[in-house]
Structure 1
Amino acid sequence: MSHGTTMPTDSATGEVGDVRRSWLVRRGLLPEAGSQRKLALAGFVNQLGTAAFLAAMPLYALRVIQLPIGQVGLGLGVAAVAGLIAGIPVGHLADRYGPRGIFLLTLLIQMLSMTSLLFAHSFWWFVVAMTVTDLAGSAGGAARGPLIRRLGGDEVPKFRSYLRSVATLASTFGALAAGVVVQIDTGTAYRVLILVNALTFLASAAVLVKLPALKPLPFPRDAGRWVALKDAPYMMFVVLDGVMWIQGEVLTFALPLWVVLHTDAPRWFVGLAIAVNTVLVVFLQMRASRGVKGGTLASQAIRRSGFAFLIGMAVIATASGAPGWAAVVIMMVGVALHTAGELWHAAGSLELRFRLAPAHAQGQYSGVFGMGMGLCYAIAPSLLGLLCITWGTPGWLLMGGIFVASGFAMPYVIQWAGRSRQLADNAD
């Protein structure tokens, strides 16, 4: 006869696991079992490896391939510019032939190009490997758009917000992994990281192959081939929204330089600020997206975010000259305000990105959207460096004013878009 506590049976353990999963689903921390959860898992694995690679890759090029810093910057610039051109045509292919197969192909290409980087021994090999990787990555993003639209069903904004939280969490873990590799700082460590990143593309493909093969939606007879590029309201939305996405570089690029060069705050505050921002985005993005449905509410959320960015950046700017701990407190308030703006902007942007695009051309529109974001991310360091770091407080206020102006104009652009398409607040 046994005494004391009995061990749980397998069925009991399974019931506990089901209860936990059910609680996570109810709280919005996990999608319902099925295609949405598979797509989220594939995205997490992909972003985990990519974030780790991007953080350590410049040092790999410098220390292992032994390229001069100028060639590293040039190679990455060439790859980034080349990557911008792939999204639109590949997105069009995803619309015409089905998104899953095209997305899987881009993942396999990235796996091969990443593996080839292990054997790079010259500048041109490095450039080719990185260019193919960026081309396939941009193309994959365009092909992923229709998958999100189709699998998200009636809750596309909610699902997209969840995917953003997952990507943010994966990026954090990837950065931590890269930190370990950089600390080890050996050729073997860098090569292992690159190999693991190559394998994450294969792992993501293994998950995505279980998704249903979505048939392409029929194109209207009167629709031209490059409808997204001819859609003037959408192109203006991409421009304004791209400007707003520069906010993503404020905390990761401008703030660290501001802390080190213009304040008496301890340098560890940079890591704390990014950690606080990450935690808030992971846990609050879905909540911030609730109710942001339709063109009117989405554009209002973006307008509201512009004012939050201005106030947050003004607060951060006042930390210059303040004593160390006072500067920490001041900038933490600024980071919190900036993060609130980030949450509102992402909620509105993700809603409009999918609502403004016709379902049959979602891939092509995703390519245009990605190109706009890529261009703005490319100019963000130079712009923020000039305004926020070189000009100081007036530059912070000017950049915040640019965010306000872009956000203020957004509702008018959405009204313009509404006159050229069916964009009701209860749109599909």
Structure 2
Amino acid sequence: MQTKLTKESPTSSFRHRLRDSVSDPVLRILVTATLISRVGRGVFLTITVLYITFVIGLSAGQAATVLGVSSAIGVATSYLGGLLADRFSARRLLFALMAGEGIALGCYPFADSFTSVLLIACAVSALSNASNASRMAIVARAFEGPARVATRAILRTVTNVSIAVGAAIAGAALLSNDVASYRAVMVGAGCVYLVGVIPVWRLPKYVDAPARVPVMPMISSEGAAPGGAVSVARSPFKDGPYLSLTVLSAIFGMQFGLAEVGVPLWIAHNTQAPTALVSMLIILNTVVVIVFQIPLSRGTENPRTAGRVMTIAGILMAAACVVYALAGGVSLAVAIVLLIIAALAHAFAEVWSQAGAWGLSFELANEANPGAYQGLFGMGAGLGAMCAPFVVAGTALTFGFPGWLALAVVFLASALGIAAIARRATPLTADTVEQPSSESLAVQSS
């Protein structure tokens, strides 16, 4: 039997909503595992690149190769992880993948060459992306409607908090600038990650895929036969609307690469603002996500709402690009103000776009094989992340203001495309869907 999150009151406090949310046993386990494991992940995110360059001695080109190749491996395993979650026990699969990832992370301090770093990075990326797809398959089966999006919002909020804590811990090693401290912190972080895997073993059996139904021709294009018949598995690659959603979400998802690569380089080379502002903007983004991701994700399980939210995100992201561009070539004070305004618009665009994409990725997926669908969606996100540095470098960082305008158009167009998919997915009005007539209720009860 599936469990559901308690319905949120519009006036409930953030603490009350979070407390009610983790009252569900599945979400409580996922939150506990995320809270612990992502502290370890935060340490590695902060320190790994510095460790492999300054301690192991890899060149910038070798480090870029490691990141690029490992990201490509992760793209492939996203779909594989979701596919396996539809065929085997998703909870045991998640446990095994997370345990493998923790062990792989703990191997970093023992790497001593480009080859060993590359192998470890590929293993970490492969296991991480596969585990995320299996985790989303579990969310799709354990929850329904609003609870799915709320779960993703809660997990993302917890992830941001934990990574921030991990980054602070890594700061101790960075301050000491000592090889022994680097290695000790990384080994400890790997152990912490493994501790976070333990709660996953307690996930209930109903999050696993049911017995497989033999594949047969689909009667309805919506993934289920008329009259409430159980839907049968279909390849997400043959689902045009979902494939389009994945591609457009991947394009909009390049905003993460813009924040991680484009904005820091733009600030350092094209504005009067100090490079220390980069850290402040990252903190600002983290705070916005932590505070607003859960409340602003409500209602996006409805495709119409998700479409409207994506439109807002597209407008905000386009505006952020323009304001980022305006920060170049102005005085110090003006540049700082403009960059803060752009970062705020960017942060809220991120929050709303994630909420809208999550809702559509669940609601437009075939219920018979959610793992494959979530795996494809994760695969698209990985491809977007891979392409982002090249797209940002070839637009904003190369051409300045015209490049930023090009990015603004790309983000806005992809968001409007997603909104169009959402509108086509909901031909009925919200009132028709949410308030069935007494006659229809009578028919259903009979």
Q: TM-score range by the shorter chain?
A: 0.7 to 0.9
1:340 Cα deviation (Å)? Answer: 2.2
Moved more, 169-178 or 104-113: 169-178
Which residue number corresponds to residue 158 of structure 2?
166
* Superposition pairs of residues 148-227 of structure 1, within 5 angstroms: 148-154=139-145, 155-214=147-206, 215-222=208-215, 227=235
- Which has the larger displacement, 253-262 or 216-225? 216-225
Aligned to 2:137: 146
Distance in 2 (alpha carbons) for counterparts of 1:146 and 1:188:
40
SS at match of 1:292: coil
Specify the code of the residue in structure 2 equivalent to 1:182. L
**How far off is 1:237 after superposition?**
0.6
- C-alpha RMSD of the superposition: 2.4
Aligned match of 1:105 in 81, 87, 96?
Answer: 96
Change (3 A) 1:337 1:126: closer
Q: 1:242 deviation in Å? A: 0.7
Where does structure 1 lack aligned partners over 5 or more consecutive residues?
1-21
CA distance in 1, matches of 2:179, 2:44: 14
**Partner in structure 2 of residue 347 of structure 1:** 355
Task: Answer whether contact 1:141 1:366 (CA < 8 A) is retained.
Answer: no
Identity of aligned residues (%): 27
1:338–1:55 CA distance, 2 compared to 1 (3 A): same
Separation in 1 of the partners of 2:311 and 2:14? 32
Aligned-pair CA distance for 1:351: 0.7
One-letter amino acid of the structure 1 residue matched with residue 198 of structure 2 = A
Aligned pairs (5 A) from 1:75-90:
75-90=66-81
Cα deviation code 1:259-315 (max 9, x no counterpart): 221111233222222212211111111111122232121122112211111112212
| Aligned residue number for residue 16 of structure 2 | 26
Does structure 2 retain, via aligned residues, the 8 Å contact 1:244–1:403? Answer: yes
Partner of 1:318: 326
Select between 203-212 and 68-77 the one with higher mean Cα deviation: 68-77
Return 5+ residue gaps in structure 2 as ranges: 1-11, 217-231, 435-446
Structure 1's 95 and 186: CA in aligned 2 closer, same or farther, altered over 3 A? same
2:254 is aligned to 246
How many Å apart are 1:73 and its aligned residue?
A: 2.2
Residue 241 of structure 1 deviates from its aligned partner by: 0.5
Q: Structure 2: which amino acid aligns with 1:411?
A: A
Preserved contact between residue 395 and residue 403 of structure 2 (Cα < 8 Å): yes
Deviations 1:124-171 (A, max 9, x none): 222222211111111101110122223334411112111111112222
Is 2:53 aligned against 1:62? yes
CA contact (8 A) 2:22 2:31 kept: no
Shifted more, 408-417 versus 296-305: the winner is: 408-417
TM-score calculated relative to the size of structure 2: 0.84
Give the alignment's TM-score, normalised by structure 1: 0.87
Counterpart of 1:9 in structure 2 is: none
Asked if 2 retains the 8 angstrom alpha-carbon contact of 1:79 and 1:130, the reply is: yes
Count of residues in Structure 1 that have an aligned counterpart in Structure 2? 402
- The question of whether the paired residues in 1 share the 8 Å contact of 2:37 and 2:197 is answered with no
Q: Secondary structure at the match of 1:96?
A: coil
Candidates 394, 407, 410, aligned match of 2:402: 394
2:143 alignment partner, SS class: helix
Q: Is the 8 A contact 1:234 1:417 kept in 2?
A: no
Deviates more, 1:407-416 or 1:377-386: 407-416
| Residue pair 2:326, 2:338 contacting (<8 A) in 1 also | yes
Look up the SS of the partner of 2:408 in the other structure: helix
Q: Is it true that 1:235 corresponds to 2:243 in the alignment?
A: yes
Q: Residue 233 of structure 2 contacts residue 369 of structure 2 at CA under 8 Å; is this kept in 1?
A: no
Maintained 8 Å contact 1:234/1:356: yes
* Contact 1:319–1:331 (8 Å) recurs in 2: yes
Structure 2 distance, partners of 1:391, 1:425, is: 48
Change (3 A) 1:383 1:194: same
Q: 1:148 to 1:303 in 2, by over 3 A?
A: same
Contact 1:296/1:425 (CA < 8 Å) preserved in 2?
Answer: no
